[in-house]
Amino acid sequence: MEETLIDEAENNSRDGEVAPALITVHPLEKFVAVAIGSELRVFDLERGFGANMLDDSGVSQHSDSIRTIGFSASGKLFVSAGDDKLVKVWSTDSWQCIHTVFSEKRVSAAAISCDDHFVSFADKFGVVWIVSLEENERNDKGTQILAHYCSIITSLEFSPDGKFILSADRDFKIRVTVFPKKPFSGAHEIQSYCLGHTEFVSCVSFIGTSEYPQGFLLSGGGDSTVRLWDFTSGTLLDTCEVGAQAEILGSNGDEGSCGHAVTDICASPDRSLVAVAIQRQVSNLHGVMLLTCDLSSRRLSVSKVVTMKETFTPTSLGMSVSGENLWMVSGASNLPGSVSSVLARVKVISRLKQMPDSSELKPAVLEDNEVPGGTKLLEKLQGSVYIAHEEETLAAAAEAVKTAMRNLLIKRQYSVEKRELRKKSRNDRKLKQ
């Protein structure tokens, strides 16, 4: 009876839980994908129409909020996962679901290995699992390879050379683990820890050039910073105080403590350009911050803040290998008081390459009719072409996402009685298994 009451209370607390809209771009910008709530929307930029996604059971969508999406490095595979405890792997040639994995807990992060042989995912209890994608070795259950001991993993990535798997969490740390030759035996060799953030780590991304093929690691978090790391040694190379810079360069907000959180970062590997999405506790930066990364001197510097004319606070960013266009989405699902259960607004910043006669970036925010794919793309990814007029709803979405992130990444405090009851419930379940 006690177990049932706890389960019902926790399930009720998740009813209507806000999930931020996500966006990701194919490495060669062949596709753009948006996840909003339980809906997965993909647009084929080469052919100019939306992709139809079906699996063998005839069900194309998840049944609960999607929390992570991403293409493999080759662009041949795509992964989606979230609160319905399903990890779906799709072939981008046909957009058929080629494999579905069942997780014991809700999934917070997922990544596909560089050789497309494995998919790894993390659950809300900080456990990282691995599944083979080889046809003769596929299994619908994952094998545990490492754990963060009850700390939510916010980001999971394979290094560009495939030698390491990186996991970041809400307890301020980034773990760099050697990806084993036999992953089903576990990943026991820790290469390094990247320690320096003073609040939760929300996102990581790799950056590198032909001169630095192994690359470097970028991380962002709740402490208003973007940090550059030599991840093989765990050495912090540089820290950019993006919250303070956002104040100086004209973001909205009161003077004093910045209180910014970096919600997403993405990098253009071949040009050392970094885009940063920032949310502030009091108000938001309506746009993105662009950083340049000098890999020879190991330094980050702010290049420009690109602001929007309308209320637009990105919840997720995406960029192809070329880095010519920056794709952004703002929105959330289960918005309180909203007529629509989901809201997604897509914007694109172009001209990110430096002009031939100038060292300064001159980016341009594209109008809706200028976006690659045009109104067909917006109708597919947003659900409507005319979402731009819903200023109040977009502002409400930004506020809801801030609250949802705070609730997710700040640890809940339970009474001693409830803590013991939860512990007993989990132990009982293990005994039944």
> Does residue 397 form part of some domain?
yes
Low-confidence ranges of the chain (pLDDT < 70): 1-16, 56-60, 247-259, 269-271, 281-285, 335-341, 354-361, 387-394, 396-398, 404-433
Domain edge (last residue) among 172, 195, 218 = 195
The two three-digit tokens of residue 160, written as one number: 């560009």
Q: Please report whether residue 253 resides in a domain.
A: yes
Co-location of 240 and 389 in the same domain: yes
pLDDT confidence of residue 249: 54
Residues 398 and 256 in one domain: yes
CA triple 22-26-28, angle to 5 deg: 150
**pTM, two decimal places:** 0.86
User: What confidence tens digit (pLDDT) does each residue in 131-141 have?
Assistant: 999 988 888 88
Q: Do 337 and 228 share a structural domain?
A: yes
User: What pLDDT score was predicted for residue 209?
Assistant: 76
Give pLDDT, residue 44: 97
pLDDT of residue 111: 98
**6 belongs to a structural domain:** no
Cβ(286)–Cβ(311) under 8 Å?
Answer: yes
Whether 148 and 221 map to the same domain: the answer is no
The four Cα atoms 199, 205, 209, 215 give a dihedral, to 10 degrees, of 70
CA distances, 4 to each of 11, 416, 421 (Å): 10, 19, 11
The number of domains in the chain is 2
Give Cα 389 to chain centroid, integer Å: 26
Assess whether 341 and 315 both reside in one domain. yes
- Say if residue 288 is in the same domain as residue 178: no
In this structure, are 185 and 268 located in the same domain?
no
pLDDT of res. 16: 54
Residue 431 lies in a domain: no
Instruction: Give a yes or no: residue 10 inside a domain.
Output: no
281 located within any domain: yes
Task: Identify whether 86 is part of a domain.
Answer: yes
Whether residue 381 sits in one domain with residue 263: yes
Whole-number percent of the chain with pLDDT over 70: 76
- 40-71 as b/e: b if 16+ CB within 10 A: bbbbbbeeeebbebebeeeebbbebbbbbbbb
Q: What are the angstrom distances between the C-alpha of 43 and each of 34, 205, 216, 310?
A: 9, 24, 31, 24
CATH number at residue 95: 2.130.10.10
Identify whether 39 is part of a domain: no
- Residue 355's pLDDT is 47
Q: Are residues 215 and 334 in the same domain?
A: yes
Write out the residue range of the structural domain in which residue 83 sits: 53-195
Classified as helix, coil or strand, 291 is strand
